[in-house]
Amino acid sequence: METSMLRRRALAACTATVAVGALGLAGLTGTASADPSPAAPKSPVAGADRLSPGLVEAMRRDLGLTADGVRARIGAETRAAAVAAGLRHSLGAGFGGARVSGDAAGLTVATTDAADTARITEAGARAVVVAHSLAELTSAKDALDRVARHRPPKDVPAWYVDVRTNRVVVQAGRGAAAETFLAAAGVPRALVTLSQSSGRPRTFTDLRGGDAYYMNGSGRCSIGFPVKRGTQGGFVSAGHCGTPGVSTSGYNQQAQGSFQGSTFPGRDYSWVAANTGWTPRPLVNGYGNGDVTVTGSTEALEGSSVCRSGSTTGWHCGTVQQRNSSVTYQEGTVSGVTRTNVCAEPGDSGGSFVSGSQAQGVTSGGTGNCTQGGTTYFQPVNPALQAYGLTLVTSGTPTDPPTDPTDPPTDPGGSWAAGTAYAAGDVVTYGSGSYRCLQGHLAQPGWTPPNVPALWQAL
């Protein structure tokens, strides 16, 4: 482990706090107007009434909601994600991003073409006309990422696309450092908002995001989510926790497995193959309040509620601030992480981020603590699954993993469509058959219901 990594702590450190200056976010400007708070849709969402008691309690504490309010918000966020996925597909190049806001999870969708506003409104969302498409902003951020991969910027801790302001936000301790970074990447200043920040993000190395595990009998990290690769069981975690070949032992100090793949910096994910004595379960440690059962990995929209499980601080909740962010640690830049206002402390690294029953990612790093609050980044779980050919272990799902997307055959007709976000319980038609969704996912070309029994059940 690098000397700058957070070193192992005794398990008794669960109540310890480490004070680190939080990343500030000030002076953001943009063309989007104030967030709406429309009433939540009334239709039920599968799984919203079966949330973990621990997750419900944590969201009540951290977001100030009632138990019914938690269920209503999760249901509204799930519906919003599905609507947003459909609009992103139909709006094409003009799509400017989507977000939810307020306890009712009101959906706002941005477009560069005023002619699209009627279509957005008809879909039940609030339309905002913006100057830049999401693709344009993402392209600018990608240019910054390319520069950072070769030469991590000094005094520029983080950058991300902010769909609320329709800008790329670059946080920096000095304005000159940010300007140098932009110039090296060739990013137009008109696309960027600079934000003053003195924060120094670091990785949460000695953490558990469910159950603890140990690397080579010393350093401690946390299991993110149990997975399978064919018949081989294991789990995903943070990449900075270990390199291929490093052995692991479980929370009980019994031999567990070894790292098979790891990426850090650049990304921050890894996967560990476990011994046959360890059985993957679709659970996240609920810390005495009931474990969370994972049913899928549909990505939550910006503004959605999200909760983290960690061995130092237990359950803590907040909201997704920006997806596809980049952050510079001492070891280098990590891109593609999601920025949240959920607190975390040493001992929480690698741990699980969930939204409702949907797996979101594994704890990477951040600033602050759970006494004063802070910023935490998580590595989304889906890219980790794709990188290593893994299947997330979920509740009620056959063990056979879906195959990689292939070129689809001639469209036989039906309501199923690639690019659509489906939730567990959704029913679609494909050809002459009907199918029920077993786990939430974003449909890919080739993942037709007859071809992926892990995702769809024939009716």
Q: Which of 155, 268, 291, 348 is catalytic?
A: 268
Please confirm, yes or no, whether 101 is among the known catalytic residues: no
Rounded distance between C-alpha atoms, residue 381 and residue 337, angstroms = 10
The predicted pLDDT at position 442 comes to 66
Computed on alpha carbons and rounded to an integer, the radius of gyration of the chain in Å comes to 21
CA distances from 432 to 292, 406, 446, 455, 457 (A): 36, 21, 17, 18, 14
Q: Token pair for residue 407?
A: 């070129």
For residues 261-279, give the mean pLDDT.
92
Q: What token pair was written down for 433? A: 């058959």
Residue type, 253: Q
Judged by DSSP in three states, 211 sits in coil
Burial tier of 222 (Cβ tally within 10 Å: 0-12, 13-18, 19+): buried
Q: Is the dihedral of CA 140, 141, 146, 150 positive or negative?
A: positive
Identity of residue 9: R
Contact in structure between 5 and 203 (CB atoms under 8 Å) = yes
240 given a catalytic annotation = yes
What is residue 452's predicted lDDT score, i.e. its pLDDT?
A: 64
Q: Which of 240, 305, 309, 316 is catalytic?
A: 240
Question: Model-level pTM?
Answer: 0.66
Place of tokens 């670091």: 202
Please list the residues that pair with 129 across neighbouring strands.
111
- Calculate the average pLDDT of the chain: 81
Q: What number is the average pLDDT over the span 410-423?
A: 77
| Amino acid (1-letter code) at residue 203 | T
pLDDT in tens, 84-110: 999 999 999 999 999 999 888 899 999
Tokens found for residue 73: 């918000």
- 201 close to 327: Cβ distance less than 8 angstroms: yes
Phi-psi region of 356 (alpha: psi -120 to 50; beta: other; left: phi over 0): left
Length of the chain: 459
Assess whether the previous peptide bond of 398 is cis (omega < 30° from 0).
no
Asked whether the predicted pLDDT for residue 155 surpasses 70, the reply is yes
Better pLDDT: 61 or 210: 61
Alpha carbon distance 347, 221 (integer Å): 7
For the stretch 63-78, pLDDT in tens is 999 999 999 999 999 9
Q: Which of 324, 330, 282 is nearest to 301 (CA)?
A: 324
Which pLDDT tens digit goes with each residue over 356-389?
889 999 999 999 999 999 999 999 999 999 999 9
pLDDT digits (tens, 9 = 90+) for 180-211: 999 999 999 999 999 988 777 876 543 334 78
Q: Is 268 an active-site residue?
A: yes
Q: Which of 350, 340, 346, 359 is nearest to 313 (CA)?
A: 346
Closest CA to 205 of 161, 177, 238: 238
Residues 6+ apart with CB under 8 A from 229: 271, 273, 388, 389, 390, 391, 401
Instruction: Answer whether 387's CB lies under 8 Å from 269's CB.
Output: yes
If DSSP codes are grouped into helix, strand and coil, which group holds residue 5?
coil
Q: Which residue has the tokens 């959906």?
A: 107
Asked if pLDDT for residue 355 goes beyond 90, the answer is yes
Residue-wise pLDDT tens digits, 6-57? 323 332 232 232 222 222 222 222 333 334 433 333 444 545 567 878 788 8
Q: Determine the average pLDDT of the residues in 131-152.
A: 94
Helices H / strands E in the chain, number of each:
6, 28
* Active-site pick, 197, 249, 349, 364: 349
